[in-house]
Structure 1
Amino acid sequence: MHRILTIDDHEVVREGVKGIFPTGVAYFGEARSGAEALEMIRQNDWDVAILDISLGGRSGLEVLKEIKALKPKLPVLVLSMHAEDQYAMRAFKAGAGGYITKASSRDELREAVLKVINGGRYVSVSMAERMVVNLGTSDKPAHETLSDRELEVLCLIASGQTVGEIAESLSLSDKTISTYRRRILDKMQLHTNAELTAYAIRNRLVY
């Protein structure tokens, strides 16, 4: 029986993941936060962890790095609402065994889970093609200079969310989000949210 730990702050997602295998094939543990996940990983052995990138209060990529430091051999599959272009490469560099979006089908998710459990890496065909193309380019886009959290804030701004809405979704203060926004604009040499949005669309960070 596969032992699967789902790390997501939304109950509907955690419940949905349980449906990828028939009853009796897998045991599912659930964690609502990075801290809860790390404690469960310390106390129990798991075959795979399914991790959301956008956890309230913390970046899922930060949690991923802590998981790999704690249990280097534990496979981690990133399950995210964000398009692959945004986070897949960062997730793999941080130690993820696979990256799949929440828009994927149940069959695709099951395939991804089984692949990383068996020691493989999972990425969609389209993302694999883009990764190969990127290997031949030396110029890095401006958003590659951003931290993981700054990139997350950039994508949320570009998707039309206000500072207050972003602060609430990430469990941070309005002031903190405004500081991130200012850093993003400075690093990318942009001046307005409209310019950030245009950049994000042009670079396939939002759709």
Structure 2
Amino acid sequence: MIRLVIADDHTIMREGLKRILEGSDDIEVVGEAVDGFEVLALVRKGGFDMLMLDLSMPGRSGVELIRQIKHESPRLPILILTMHEEEQYAIRAIRAGARGYLTKESAGTQLLSAIRKVASGRPYISTSVAEQLAMDAMPNNEDSPHKKLSDREFEVFGLLVNGKTITEIADLLHLSAKTVSTHKTRILFKMHMNSLAELVQYAVAHKLVAPFRI
């Protein structure tokens, strides 16, 4: 039996996932979390075999949260279930310690196999992500501008291009507005851009803007 914890801040999504899993006799949902702090509390408490984690939640989230979980529980398998389709999100998550990466759009048909594969100790990633990981390991590979960003900068970049204000990002990431502004300045500098509008245009062109969520 795979004892699973679902971490997602959307109640409708958690309920939908549980319905998909109801017909399985080898997977049991034993816990739920709505933000990064609840995730860490459950990790410290233990009593489950695998974590299914959304990349975008209130509080600690994303790559930073994955790294913290792996630091506290190195053997805990993590399957990322996210709205982000772009390979760069997957690559950063895998490098941080996640064992699998699945988009919510594919969850209906691939969820059970992804959970079973990750729980068994094997990775679950798409062919395109595997190819990108291999390409990134090759010498003289020219990176796209967004790949030059640190994990925190990339997280701030994602929130900025998805319409969040400096204040909102500060609240979500538990940072000061000044720190977020500094990150924004560094992002613009590293990507050789002059405005948020240019960042948004770039994000749209590279499919880094998240789908609309209610």
- TM > 0.5 between the two? yes
Letter in 1 for 2:22: P
Where 1:12 maps in the other structure, the secondary structure is: helix
Q: Which residue of 1 aligns with 2:7?
A: 7
1:18 counterpart = 2:21: no
1:98 equivalent in structure 2: 100
Aligned counterparts of 1:67 and 1:156: Cα–Cα separation in 2: 22
- SS of the aligned residue for 1:105 comes to helix
Deviation at 1:129, TM superposition (A): 3.4
Q: Give the structure 2 partner of residue 142 of structure 1.
A: 145
Q: Match of 1:5, SS? A: strand
Q: Deviations over 1:127-175 (max 9, x none)?
A: 3334344444522222223232321222233344544565566566655
- 5 Å-filtered alignment, 1:59-74, equals 59-74=61-76
Identity of aligned residues (%): 44
Unaligned runs of 5+ in 2: none
Q: CA RMSD in A?
A: 2.5
Q: What corresponds to 2:84 in structure 1?
A: 82
Q: Which runs of 5+ in 1 are unaligned?
A: none
Query: Secondary structure of the equivalent of 1:189?
Result: coil
TM-score, normalised to structure 2, is: 0.82
Distance (Å, rounded) in 1 between the aligned partners of 2:108 and 2:30:
16
Deviations 1:8-49 (A, max 9, x none): 222222222212223573133101222222221222222210
TM-score, reference length from structure 1: 0.85
The answer to whether the 8 Å contact 1:84/1:100 transfers is: no
Greater shift, 86-95 or 103-112, is seen at 103-112
Cα 1:24–1:160 change in 2 (3 A) is closer
State the partner residue of 1:157: 160
Sort the Cα spacing of 1:27 and 1:196 in 2 relative to 1 into closer, same or farther, 3 A: closer
Match of 2:184 in 1: 181
Give distance in 2, aligned partners of 1:90 and 1:205: 13
Aligned to 1:55: 57
Task: Describe the shift of the 1:173–1:21 C-alpha distance in structure 2 as closer, same or farther (beyond 3 A).
Answer: same
1:52 CA drift (Å): 1.2
CA deviation after TM superposition for structure 1 residue 113, in Å: 0.9
Note closer, same or farther for the CA distance 1:176–1:35 as it changes in structure 2 (3 Å cut).
same
Match of 1:33? Answer: 35
Q: How many residues align?
A: 207
